[in-house]
Amino acid sequence: MAKSKIAYFCQSCGFESAKWLGKCPSCQQWNTFVEEVIDKGNTSVPAWKVSPSTTMQRANKPVQVADITFSEEHRMLTPDKEFNRVLGGGIVAGSLVLIGGEPGIGKSTLMLQLALNMPNLKVLYVSGEESERQIKMRAERLAHPNAGGVIGDGCFILCETSTQNIFKQIEALEPDLVVIDSIQTLHSSHIESTPGSVSQVRECTAEMLRFAKETSTPVFLIGHITKDGMIAGPKILEHMVDTVLQFEGDRHHVYRILRTIKNRFGSSSELGIYEMLGEGLREVSNPSEILLSHRDEPLSGITISATLEGMRPMLIETQALVSTSAYGTPQRTATGFDTKRMSMLLAVLEKRCGFRLAAKDVFLNITGGIRVEDPAIDLGLAAAIISSHEDMPVPFKTCFAGEIGLSGEIRAVNRVEQRIAEAQKLGFNQIFISKYNLPSGGQDKKRMDLSRYDIDIKIVSTIEEVFGLLFG
């Protein structure tokens, strides 16, 4: 038998070295190398039971692009519309999907709920963290109310951490979908290091990737994250998989956000919103309703902004509080928004509009616990800041969609018609947009077909014009 090999791996990026290094030459991190033993004596790879229709049976040789035959990819639709949207329209055959998130955020709940409610499909749920009884208790709680007391007949549970034993059961069961909970608990006999180490995570993911591609069976991997919010294991883990999903949200709040970070089969900017209930996760089809608070009286410092997450338009509530600084240095705090961009907006308001904000404490908040990077909410945030500064509320049923430039101009934003339609659907009376969104500088409204909207569209070009219309 071949001798065992000792190598050093970077815990941050997975870089392999023959000796210990203080600084990783790949990711430039210090003190991240750990020693691991790699067994090269047995490098055999399990043989998959390949279906006759698979395209991986042909010999690997160069093929011209024009000679490659392509047919429309069939996707497996789940009962969860939010999950389908985040994946780009459904589950692609042979895809490898990685789902990461904080402990207790609901990753296992989401995937077990998916496994229990997949119609006419055989799903294998592999758990290395829970026993069969624990999963059974959670499955009874997550049972679909329309199932008549019958818990997913097509869902099979396997409590195992060895990849060789998992593949034996997969070959005997021949499932249509495989869920691994979690990839950090698996270990391969080809590697002698402990489960969760860099080499084990990379080797187990590589075996799952080869199985998914050769059998056209989709595989979902649940991954842990580090204290910095990154997915645990080497960075190559995210490069190997087809799709990376991040499950976000505060454990003390009921709403969860499933965000796409990488997707080879669809948009990488999609977002799904769920509500955590006692019987599982409930999809939220209209997120604008939960992100807007219902107020009986007008309050200063509160505005509504139209934003986009992927292909979905949403209206979010932006709040600002401006008060006199009690200390020598004014405080600048933003929740759900970039602090540097907030400083830029304050500088523009002071330089171009004459508002004295240098000695004021400014606090910004995006309600609902979500983080927004869309520059189209600049106008709404600026209006909220001035509303709080002057203690004058913004009129009811008014929303904003515009980016603010350094010279104080209101810049155009993309897909403004979808934002207008969303505001009209939720019953808003007026919306402020940039005149540069119109094709001919604001003169030809028919080319954009604004007449088909019942909402009052305010076309503005500068911040001064916006404040004049709002506060007189």
Sequence ranges of the domains in the chain: 5-38, 76-285, 290-471
Which residues contribute to the annotated binding site?
A: 101-108
Domain 290-471, what fold? Ribosomal Protein S5; domain 2 (3.30.230)
Binding residues for ATP: 101-108
Architecture of the domain spanning 76-285: 3-Layer(aba) Sandwich (3.40)
How far apart CA 460 and CA 95 sit, in angstroms, is 47
Going residue by residue through the chain, which has 472 residues, state the pLDDT in tens, using 9 for 90 and above. Answer: 456 678 888 877 778 888 899 999 988 889 888 888 766 545 444 555 444 444 444 456 888 888 887 666 678 899 999 999 899 889 999 999 999 988 888 899 999 999 998 878 899 999 999 999 999 988 888 875 544 445 667 899 999 999 999 999 999 999 999 999 989 999 988 887 788 888 888 889 999 999 999 999 999 999 988 777 778 777 788 889 999 999 987 666 778 889 899 999 888 878 888 888 888 888 888 877 777 776 777 889 999 999 988 778 889 999 999 998 877 788 999 998 999 999 999 999 999 888 888 889 999 999 877 888 899 999 999 999 999 999 999 988 899 999 999 999 999 999 899 999 989 988 899 999 999 988 654 444 445 667 788 899 999 999 999 999 998 7
